[in-house]
Amino acid sequence: MLRKLHIQNYAIIDEIDINFSNNLNVITGETGAGKSILMGALSLILGGRADTASLQNRDKKCIVEGFFSIEGKKDVERFLNENELDREEELVLRREITASGKSRGFINDTPATLQQLKELASLLVDLHQQFDTLEIGDSDFQRAVLDGLAGNSDLLVTFQACFRKWHSQRTELDQLLNQKGTFQKESDYNQYIFNELDQLNLVENELEDLETELKMLNNSEGIKTALTKVYFELKESEQPVVQQLKLLSNQLQSFSDYHTSLPDVVNRLQSAQIELQDIADEVDNLNDHIHFDQERIDHVNERLSAGYKMLKKHGVQTTNELIAIRNEISKKLEAVLNIDDTISQKEKEVKESLQKAEDIAKSISSRRKKEIADLEQKVNALLHQVGMPNARLKVDVKPATLNLYGSDTIEFLFDANKSNRFEPIRKVASGGELSRLMLCIKSLVAESIDMPTLIFDEIDTGISGEAAKQVGFIMKDLSTSRQLITITHQPQIAGKADAHFYVYKEIKSDAIKTNIRLLTHNERITAIAQMLSGEKPTAAALENAREMVMN
């Protein structure tokens, strides 16, 4: 709901504030007083094109601000969250234009792009002007009208969840089919590579261990000679080191009672003797197990040669990387064997989800079609009331490919002159006809669809008398559930206002300025009387105006 509109330095408006009521707001004024200027200023915060020609005072910038109450507006809250904008109790849209022509938009004081401003404004305000391409020609709105009347809201939520599930499963199936094709193309090659690696039958770190073993085998004679010499010196020479340490230890042992440090030295000599004894035994054992083995050398060389070939072929450095490649290819080959079962299961899921979605879509379509006759009858009756007796609406519902909103293509067709040549609304209806048609339709679905503030700019074009009176009745009834703002020249509509604003020109500092004020009860009567009979209203006109306001 638009609570307040602030305009500063726009065209011949110096600075004004308009505080709107929650229901029906009517704006009147003489031709040329500046009503269209108000709409021009409003269009700026709705994302309209900025023009520096609108700045009369070039010394300061133009500012237009709209203050909105957004309680219960889930679409608005979703937009703010998606765009990471602050959520406050009052939403402020602001547009600034500098003398240089630079335009800036703001949402709650946060800089916003023009596209963001447009998108958010469309959730807050529905502006209907002459010759605009109006929302009623939009297929989404037409569908929403039928769904609102049919009470399809909950059913659509269920359907859309099912549709998205089906769509996701179908995407997964397509991926599996593509994957199967890829598997089949690669299968022979993968099998060849796997066989090579599997036949090699490498174990973890095998090549690295073989390299170490080969170095040992190639140096086995030198190693064996060194081990033999070490063992000889430790245990079998004329004066073995182990035996010498034992003798030295025994010599000191006999004097250990005469010096406090000697027992420790003796213990260390004995420990060294034991350690060298163990070393000698281990050297002897190693010596027994090291032999020059040409056959083993040849086998290791062959194994390493085959391993190096695989490393080079696959561009890796270690045995474990080759094993990982073999395991990965094994999984792919196994997947080829299993993918047909997976595809079969997925096809079953897709079929079940599609059937469920189609069943719900049929139910949605059936409920929509049940509302067509009643909608056509009521809209056509309202069109007759608002001065379009020859106009008729026809709703055309045709089957369509399953989509997020069901399986229907919905088109509102219009015949303005009982010609029986129904055409899409956007092609044949004039601006005034569209505005009144929109009013009739929205009055029927006001309780079913979450609509924004409705603004009608001269919806009364080409009507008067009883037709204008009926438009007033419809607007009044619609405004009980939706905020309406309308610019009108018809007293019958002005008389239904909850808040009546009057636009006028005044001379201020030797310059003509547009201003606006909220009329009191008596001022309303006078203004409506002037709309009926001229600048100096007659007593009859005043009485007639008083009756309009009272009723």
Give the model confidence (pLDDT) of 399-411 as tens digits. 999 999 999 999 9
Question: Cβ neighbours of residue 125 under 8 Å, at least 6 residues apart?
Answer: 2, 42, 46, 66, 452, 453, 455
Q: Which residues contact 284 (CB under 8 A, 6 or more apart)?
A: 227, 231
Q: What is the predicted pLDDT for the residue at 137?
A: 57
* pLDDT of amino acid 410: 92
Predicted confidence (pLDDT) at residue 50 exceeds the cutoff of 80: no
Rg (CA), the chain: 46
Tokens linked to 442: 């929205």
Q: What percent of the chain clears pLDDT 90, i.e. is strictly above it?
A: 29
Nearest to 346 by CA among 172, 167, 181: 172
- Residue 257 carries which DSSP code? G
Location of structure tokens 């089949």: 184
| pLDDT level of residue 38 (50, 70, 90 thresholds) | confident
Res 421: pLDDT? 87
The pLDDT mean for the chain works out to: 86
Distance CA 260, CA 302 (A): 64
Share of the chain above pLDDT 70, in %: 97
Angstrom distance (rounded) from CA 520 to CA 546: 13
Q: What is the pLDDT of residues 112-147, one digit of tens each?
A: 988 999 889 888 888 765 444 445 556 788 898 899
pTM value surpassing 0.75 = no
Report the greatest alpha carbon distance in the chain. 152
Contact 360, 404 (CB under 8 A): no
Q: What is the pLDDT of residues 411-422, one digit of tens each?
A: 999 888 888 888
Residue 504 has pLDDT above 70, yes or no: yes
What pLDDT is recorded for position 132?
Answer: 46
Average pLDDT for residues 464-493, to the nearest whole number? Answer: 88
What's the rounded mean pLDDT across residues 476-499? 90
Helix axes 206-218, 319-385, angle to 10 degrees: 160
Residue 75 pLDDT exceeds 90: no
More confident residue, 534 or 365: 365
The confidence score (pLDDT) of residue 430 equals 64
Pairing of strands 499-508, 24-29: parallel
Rounded to whole angstroms, the Cα distance separating 85 from 81 reads: 6
- Compute the distance between CA of residue 54 and CA of residue 43 in angstroms, rounded to an integer: 13
C-alpha span between 45 and 56 (Å, rounded): 19
And the tokens for 484?
């309406």
Q: Span 73-80, mean pLDDT?
A: 87
What local confidence, expressed as pLDDT, does residue 23 receive? 92
Q: How many CB atoms lie within 10 A of CB 297?
A: 15
